[in-house]
Amino acid sequence: MPSRKMLTAIAAPAVLTLASLTPVLGASPTSTASAAPTSTPGPRPNLVFIMADDLGWSDLSTGRVNGGFGNDFNETPQLDRLAQEGQSFTEAYASVQCSPTRTALHTGQYATRPTNNVYAVGPVTGQGGDPLLGVTQGRLAEDGRTAIPVGYTTLGETLQHAGYATGYSGKFHVTASAAEIVSSHGFDENWGGSQASNATHYFATNNRFNDSVSPSLDQFAQDYTQEYVDQNIAPYSHGVTDAQLDALVGTDKHVTDAQTDAALDFIDRSKDQPFFAFVSEFAPHFPVDDAEARPDLLAKYHAKPAGEDPAKPSYGALVEGVDQSVARIVDYLETTPDPRNGGKPLADNTLVIFTSDNGGEEDPVIAGAYNGPLREDKGFKYEGGVRVPWIVWSDNDDLVRGGGRSNDTIVNSTDLYPTLASYARAQLPAGVPLDGIDLKPAFSKGTRINREHFHHLPGYVRFGGALESSPFSSIRDGRWKLYYNYADNSFALYDLTKDIGETSDLAAERPGLARQLGEQLIAWLDETDAPLATLRAGQPTRVIPDFTGTTYANGEVTRHHRDTITIAAGQQVPFVLPRP
């Protein structure tokens, strides 16, 4: 669809510090104070949040979201367009796996908070051969998967209280049951969301999806008809023949199309009031093979020659399917009159955000993502595991200052809650610490906000039996990223401006900087009461003699001068920061 906006030159953004953000949130970014709604003219905007599952940082064909590392095999014309017309955040973070990301989105909290306490999909306690014993995570569903506490006031509930219609489409995962999504997590309606971690088969069979998708989506599972193909697939197809499109008629519905149908149905029925549509794509999470891709797109990518980037036809087809989902939603917003806004198109008063839930899974057998020059992939603490694309778009410059701007504000999943609450003029829950910041100044004005990003894993993450992450804490501040490894009390420091692939550890060369960042990290662990892994039974007692410096353990920061620190089995293994 051709752009209806004139592109403007990319302007250098103004810089906003966290100190100047304090009045926006009512207190510090982790304040327990309740923020009063601000008065803004005009109807409150609609909110659409779209999240892909396991999409890599360099999987979009545009280079605007990933520092110029656009994919030369996958095609994502709609997302490219949103990046060209909207604003891209090149330093956006999720978590090592989807569960902690999703919990942070719904709670506005880092995993270290006791009302979050979700660090991974499954247990992080580790195996018998691991030197440390990871923590027991918070609320666990019957199958051992992590779940959002039922009594917590989620983002959906906060928007409901502000008068928004709230609808959820697709994967939810961090719940004990599909029913809780509506009864406890703030959504009026849910289609497809459940405690399942992914769609184990992407197509419906006999007009029903399998039990990895909630039966609530089955009402949209009917086989493709000619009318459906002509109206909902053909207008958004590129490089696919009419014969390939017509061959879809009478075949099984793909879950990406079904959940888009559900989201559009909700938006259409809810447009008389402000709405929040959370569209959580199942794709392109594994399984990724020819049996899971829509046939027309699969044929396109099988016929396409490979470029320099990894090329897997089934993965490219799933990614473009997500792009078509976004295209359908945006097209509806641009062509449907808004009854709350004088009949202007809905797009004139709607904020759209697109991102992914963690770094892409690069295993070519089961997946096929690409994180570009970033180190490692999903499950790992490094940039490839946690950095994600993040695009914001609106047809209203007052909602999003676009023109293809790139913004290097460090953003993370906890920011969604206060940001959408700010746009909705919603009252934040009293007495609840929110770790995110209001990104509205960045979205609406292009402002660059200075802030740090933290990550903490008090345990182990494995995939297929292989160790991906062991206990660590990290901080990103400006160009620098520091890791602390609890197993051996070691630090690693990287300059992401010069070394985005994290190949050169500068901790030994820059001890003063490493210590400064370490002090910031300890302060954050203390402020959020972060739990730590303990020394596993059977491990020899650890002794740190004549230690001068700072430690964090058991929720306390301790200053030492020539102390002997002893860590026995069952005790927390501290964050240890020596003083030079």
**What are the catalytic residues?**
98, 173
Structure tokens, 205 = 């069979």
Token pair 């399998």 is found at 210
Which of 106, 270, 124 lies closest to 193, judged by CA? 106
Q: Quick one: how far is CA 564 from the chain centroid?
A: 42
Q: Is 533 left (phi over 0), alpha (psi -120 to 50) or beta?
A: beta
Residues pairing with 191 in the sheet: 169
- Secondary structure string (H, E, C) spanning 131-151: CEECCCCCCECCCCCECCCCC
Task: Say whether 156 sits in a helix, a strand or coil.
Answer: helix
Q: How far apart are CA 361 and CA 214, in angstroms?
A: 24
Q: Is the dihedral of CA 93, 354, 420, 10 positive or negative?
A: positive
Give the burial class of 498: count Cβ atoms within 10 A of its Cβ; 0-12 exposed, 13-18 middle, 19 or more buried.
exposed
Q: Cα dihedral angle (309, 311, 315, 319), rounded to 10 degrees?
A: 50
DSSP of 352-381:
EEEEESS-----TTT-----TTSSS-TTSS
* DSSP-derived 3-state class of residue 192: coil
HSE-up (13 A, CA, CB side) for residue 502:
20
Alpha-carbon radius of gyration of the chain: 23
